[in-house]
């Protein structure tokens, strides 16, 4: 057995596995419609973190998590963090989305991903699901917002793990998040 050869192969496999893919070029060139009908950039490289929270106005979990989105807006309002609520697909008309935003008092930037451009890049599968991108355009964290929902139809009484907040705070402290993925549960994003 040739140990140096196996060590080199292991090192190369580890290096490839640890390399983060940057979506910077795809994100920086993408402008999508907002709830007012204008075009909005989906990524600002000046922010240390951009949290894309994929929502659907008829998803019960999204309704429940609207309070969490408002809390995130308040916590990170004066920090280099952007919270963007993304509504994928064409299943919802603009009035339904505006009503949802008004009822739940969401003031974050809103993106209408009608043609699934952002979904295609970031690969969320359910609503609500968050994809946190760092200032290099790399996915720093993806998945559940917290541990309130721990299975299909299963909810905890108290939240004990705040995956998204922890990941954002890590980026703000110039560290990689300890957890980069947590399985999200919710309403499937249906690609029509």
Interaxial angle between packed helices 60-75 and 163-172, expressed in degrees from 0 to 180 and rounded to the nearest 10: 30
Entry field: residues in the chain? 192
**Does 89 reside within a domain?**
yes
- Under 8 Å between Cβ of 54 and 88: yes
CATH of the domain at 77: 3.40.30.10
115 falls within a domain: yes
The verdict on residue 9 lying in a domain is: no
* Residue 6 main-chain phi, psi, to 5 deg: -70, -35
The pLDDT tens digits for 62-112 are: 999 999 999 999 999 999 999 999 999 999 999 999 999 999 999 999 999
Tokens 């994003």 -> residue = 189
- Which pLDDT tens digits describe the chain residue by residue (192 residues)? 455 554 444 444 444 444 568 999 999 999 999 999 999 999 988 899 999 999 999 999 999 999 999 999 999 999 999 999 999 999 999 999 999 999 999 999 999 999 999 999 999 999 999 999 999 999 999 999 999 999 988 999 999 999 999 999 999 999 999 999 999 999 999 887
In a domain, 164, yes or no: yes
Q: Could you give the C-alpha distances from 110 to 34, 87, 118, 151, 182, in angstroms and in order? A: 5, 8, 13, 28, 24
Number of domains in the chain: 1
Residue 173's domain comprises: 22-188
- Residue 13 within any structural domain of the chain: no
CB 49 within 8 A of CB 173: no
Q: Does 33 fall in a domain?
A: yes
Evaluate if pTM is beyond 0.85.
yes
82 within a domain of the structure (yes/no)? yes
Helix (H, G, I), strand (E, B) or coil at 111: strand
For residue 102, being part of any structural domain is answered with yes
Closest CA to 144 of 127, 160, 158: 127
Q: How far from 21 is each of 26, 44, 97, 166, CA to CA, in Å?
A: 11, 17, 32, 21
Task: Residue 131: name the closest of 50, 25, 17 by CA.
Answer: 50
3-state secondary structure of 87: strand
């Amino acid at each position: 057995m040739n140990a140096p050869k196996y060590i080199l192969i292991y090192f190369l496999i580890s290096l490839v596995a640890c390399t983060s893919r940057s979506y910077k070029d795809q994100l920086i060139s993408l402008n999508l419609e907002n709830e007012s009908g204008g075009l909005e950039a989906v990524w600002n490289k000046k922010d240390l973190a951009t949290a894309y929270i994929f929502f659907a106005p008829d998803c019960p979990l999204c309704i429940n998590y609207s309070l969490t989105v408002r809390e995130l807006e308040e916590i990170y309002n004066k920090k280099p963090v952007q919270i963007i609520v993304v509504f994928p697909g064409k299943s919802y008309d603009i009035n339904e989305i505006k009503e949802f935003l008004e009822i739940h008092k969401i003031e974050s930037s809103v993106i209408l991903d009608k043609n699934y451009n952002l979904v295609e890049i970031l690969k969320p599968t359910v609503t609500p699901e968050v994809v946190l991108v760092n200032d290099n355009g790399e996915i720093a964290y993806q998945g559940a917002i917290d541990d309130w929902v721990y299975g299909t139809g299963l909810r905890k009484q108290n939240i004990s793990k705040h995956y998204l907040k922890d990941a954002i705070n890590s980026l703000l402290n110039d560290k990689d998040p300890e957890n980069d993925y947590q399985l999200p549960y919710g309403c499937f994003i249906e690609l029509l």
